[in-house]
Amino acid sequence: MSGSSFGKLFKITTWGESHGKGVGVVIDGCPAGLSLSENDIQKFLDIRKPGQNEFTTLRNEDDKVEILSGTFEGKTTGTPISLIVYNKDHHSTDYGNIASCYRPGHADYTYDEKYGFRDYRGGGRSSGRETIGRVAAGAVAIKILNELGINFCTYVNSIGELSIDKNNFDKEEINKNPFYMPDALCASKASDYLKNIIKESDSVGSSVECIISGVPAGIGEPVFDKLDALLAQAVMSIGAVKAVEIGDGLSVTNRLGSENNDNFHMNNNNVEKTSNHSGGILGGISDGSDIILKASFKPTPSIFKEQQTVTSDKQDTTLSIKGRHDPIIGPRAVVVVESMCAITILDLMLQNTGTKLSNLKKIYN
C-alpha cells in the first residue's frame, strides 16, 4: 500500500500528482449533520495557494475545490466526501533535466529505487501539491472541532536565524504578513532576510508552531496511538519536516524533574496545571490544557545554485534547477500543520466516544 490513508474513524485518503489531472481527497467517516459548503474548504486552500506574493512559487493555480459526494442539502450525510482540485498549470512539457537526473534533497532517487521508475513531472506524487488533499480534509475536521469548542492558533515561529519574540506575540498579526508570523517586527525583518536569500539563489529552513485550545482531557490512546505519537506521525509525514516537538520539546533534555513537572492545583472546582511544559499531554492523553506542537522544516531543496548529482542512468553530472520556487516552506505549511493536527485530534475523539461503558449507555439507551 502506498500509505495514502490516515486515521481510523475519520479517515482521509489523498491522491494526485503535481502535473497529473488533479489532486484530491476522500474523507470517510465524517459525522453526519455538519453544514458544509465548498467555501468552508476554499478559505483554507487559499492560504496555501501558490503565487500569492513575491516569496512563493509563480505557479498559477486557482486551486478551486469541488465537492463531488457526501453532502446533501448543504449537510454532510455521513458517507464519503470526495473533494477534487483540478490542476490548471500542468501543461508544460519541458521538465528539463529533472527527468533524467536526481535533484539533491528531493525524492527522485528514492522513488526510482522503490518503484522502478517515477512520474518526474514537477515531483509527481512527492510534490507539495499532495498537501492540498490534507488541507481540504483538515478544513472539514477544523469545522467540526470548532463546533465542539476546540480552536487552533498556528504560525511561523522562526525563519532561518530569525525567531519571533513571544513578548511581541499578536494573534491578529498572523494573517497580516506573508510569513504568518504573530510578530510584526520579526515578519518585517524576515522580508529583508528572505529577499537576500532569494538573491543568493538559495533557500532557508523554518519552524511552525501549533497551539490547540479546548481539547477536553482524556483524548488519546495510552500506548502506540498516544495523542502525541499520532501527532508526530501526522506532522512528520508532511514533506520537509525533520523534527517534531511536543510542549517544551528538545529543551527538556537538560532540565531537572523539579523544573519540568507541571504541578496541579484546583481552580474553581477545576483541576488545572500551574505550568504547561508537557504541552497539554500526559501519558499520551490530553490533560485539558493547551496542546502545543512545533515542527522544524528544512530549507526548500529546490535551489538555483549549481549542485553536484547523478543521472538516472548512473553518471555523475551537475544540475541547476530552473523556475521560481518558495525560498522557505514554513509559511505555506502553516495550514498543512494545522490540518494534520485537526484530523488527528478529531479521529481520536471519535475513537474515544465508547471508551467508558457509561458513554455507550448514554448513546444507546
Q: Which is nearer to a second copy, 174 or 319 (CB)?
A: 319
Cell numbers linked to 50: 501558490
Q: Which of 50, 182, 239, 331 binds a second copy (CB under 8 A)?
A: 239
- Min dist. Cβ of residue 151 to a second copy (A): 14
Q: How many angstroms separate the most distant Cα atoms in the chain?
A: 70
Which one of 44-52, 175-183, 184-192, 236-244 is the stretch in contact with a second copy (CB under 8 A)? Answer: 236-244
How many residues interact with a second copy (rule CB under 8 A)? 170
Residues 279-338 that bind a second copy (CB under 8 A): 279, 281-288, 296-303, 305, 307-310, 314-316
Binding-site string for a second copy from residue 77 to residue 116, where x marks contact by CB under 8 A and - marks none: xxxxxx-x-----------------x-xxxx-xxx-xxxx
- Please say which residue, 9 or 153, places its beta carbon nearer to a second copy: 9
Report d(CA 151, CA 211) in Å as an integer. Answer: 8
DSSP letters for 85-141? EE-SS------GGGTTBPPTTSSHHHHHHHHSS---GGGGGGSGGGHHHHHHHHHHH
Q: Which of residues 201-230 bind a second copy (CB under 8 A)?
A: 202-207, 216-226, 228-230
CB of 21 to a second copy, least distance (A): 5
What is the smallest separation between the CB atom of 57 and a second copy, expressed in angstroms? 14
Among 136, 144, 164, 342, binds a second copy (CB under 8 A): 144
| Smallest separation (angstroms) from a second copy to the CB of 107 | 2
Q: 52 burial class (0-12, 13-18, 19+ CB within 10 angstroms)? A: middle
For residues 167 to 206, the per-residue mask of contacts with a second copy, x marking binding by CB under 8 A and - elsewhere, is: ------------------------------x--x-xxxxx
State yes or no: residue 136 binds a second copy (CB under 8 A): no
Alpha-carbon span 178 to 157, nearest angstrom: 13
- Angle, helices 38-48 vs 131-147, to 10°: value is 130
DSSP letter, residue 30: P
Window contacting a second copy (CB under 8 A); options: 56-64, 165-173, 176-184, 345-353? 345-353
Q: Find the binding residues for a second copy in span 21-80 (CB under 8 A).
A: 21-24, 26, 28-29, 31-34, 66, 68-70, 72, 75-80
Query: Which CB sits closer to a second copy, 185 or 360?
Result: 360
At closest approach, how far in Å is the CB of 109 from a second copy? Answer: 6
Min CB(202)–a second copy separation in Å: 5
**Min separation Cβ 293 and a second copy, Å:** 10
Smaller CB separation from a second copy, 192 or 264 = 264
For residue 162, the cross-strand partners are 159
Query: Strand pairing partners for 27?
Result: 12, 81
* Nearest residue to 50 (alpha-carbon basis) of 128, 137, 133: 128
- Residue 57 to residue 127: CA distance in whole angstroms: 13
Looking at 37-45, 51-59, 141-149, 175-183, which segment touches a second copy (CB under 8 A)? 141-149
Residue 82 — φ and ψ, nearest 5°?
A: -100, 125
Query: What does the alpha-carbon distance between residue 97 and residue 93 come to, in Å, rounded to a whole number?
Result: 12
Sign of CA dihedral 353, 150, 209, 46: positive
Q: How far is the CB of 65 from a second copy (least distance, A)?
A: 13
Quickly tell me which residue has 449537510 as its cell.
75
Q: How far apart are CA 126 and CA 148, in angstroms?
A: 34
Residue 115 phi, psi (nearest 5): -105, -10
